Amino acid sequence: MDRKTNNLHDAPLSGWRGIAAYLGRNQSTVKRWAAARDLPVHRPQGSEARKGVPVYAFAAELDTWIRGHSRELLETASEPIGVLALPDTGNLSRPDASLPSRRHMLLGLVAAGLVASGSIAAVQLTGSTATQAVSEEARALYLEAGYLWQKRTAETLLQASDLLRRALAIAPNYADAEADLAIVYNLMVEYELRDADDGYELSRRSAQRAVSLDPRHARAHSVLGDIEFFWSRNYEAGLALLRKAVALDPRDATAHHWLASALMAKGQFGEAAKEIQLARQFEPMSRSIIVSHAMIDLGQNRPARARQSLEQLIRNEPAYRSPYRFLAFAELALKNYSAYLAALAQRFALTADATAALVVARGRQGLQADGIDGMIEAMALALRSGPAPADPYFVAHWLALAGAWPEAVEQLTRTPTRRFAYYGIDPAFTLARQDDAFHTILSQAGLPMT
């Protein structure tokens, strides 16, 4: 099975049977690993979930999991497994009798420490699918795009948008693909790939089209609610749409995740915690959900717990930029000022924001010279005397640290994405959140109260 020729390694493995066959284990074991050992199995969302489309997995993710779970593989080595079903594609329509069983292949590779990405070719079950109206080619593009946009990097968002547009060119009435394209456009604003006016309008149009195709589409309602809440800043209308999304599909991880984000922005941390826990239950491998869970921990005054989960995520994915912002918040709340500056420095190295990095460098000098007061004063001076950093939220953050609350709120109003609401969990705003005058300024600016 030649990956380059047949591109099987990148194809999603369909259903518990296909995943079990790939791993050479029975379905009960694979389901147990998914529940208790974080086996990366994805569950369909939206209309596909309602139509009974099976779970799926990606070979590359399974190979990565295998490398860290050799003990589980060895302990279950004697399990009987079913017959591997290969795709009906030319001369690969039946198993090659000369190939060793996958069970023996896995055991040998694990024992030798040789299981690596690309070393085991993927197999995919054939047969009917519950989405008869969508071609297999369009569905494969949709699934691959879903894997990519969940990674939330500039590169993967661009790739996902291309795949989803290709899927829609093949299947113009594919509501799930249209809804995910709405999500991708929304995230492109967050990752500065599109300006807010353009990105959110494209996102809204795709979400509205998805709803026109499927009025019960949860993700499409989530996108509309998110735009209403964070962009239009119609908070109650946005929350109503987000709650409707959860009601339409209680098993949709995105619906729970985005509702949790809005509740957090409103300061409703208890309900937000329940929603994010449900999101993690349905999509335990999502790193963005893990970050949001840590953010809610910060809002509930649990900075040590937030730091622990963020540090674990960073150890696994050091190039993922999102956790560093909130790790900095946690360290600041814990009064670990050197660690706070280190987390910020890493964030700005990843985002290539030299201006913000200079503010951090000045803060480090101030900390060494005169402690926390010197750090705050040095950063405020650097901020006022030089060009503004790329992210207006960080300007608000440093101004709040310096006690310049009206100026900080002015910067929040200039923050076009959901970042404007981070003041509810940011320790730089701790004193401000306890001050009635600050709440008056928030109200006058049309920002949610926390």
Domain locations in the chain as residue ranges: 3-131, 286-343
User: What is the tens place of the pLDDT at every residue in 327-360?
Assistant: 999 999 999 999 999 999 999 999 999 999 999 9
Burial class (CB in 10 A: 0-12, 13-18, 19+), 336: middle
Q: Residue 260 carries which side chain, given as an amino acid letter?
A: A
Concatenated DSSP letters for 278-323? HHHHH-TT-HHHHHHHHHHHHHTT-HHHHHHHHHHHHHH-TT--HH
pLDDT band at 386 (very low <50, low <70, confident <90, very high): confident
For domain 286-343, which architecture applies?
Alpha Horseshoe (1.25)
Distance separating alpha carbons of residues 83 and 81, to the nearest angstrom: 7
Q: Are 314 and 324 in contact (CB under 8 A)?
A: yes
pTM assigned to the model: 0.72
Q: Are 116 and 147 in contact (CB under 8 A)?
A: no
Mean pLDDT of 399-424: 92
Does residue 99 have a pLDDT over 90?
A: no
Does residue 120 have a pLDDT over 50?
A: no
Mean pLDDT of 74-88: 43
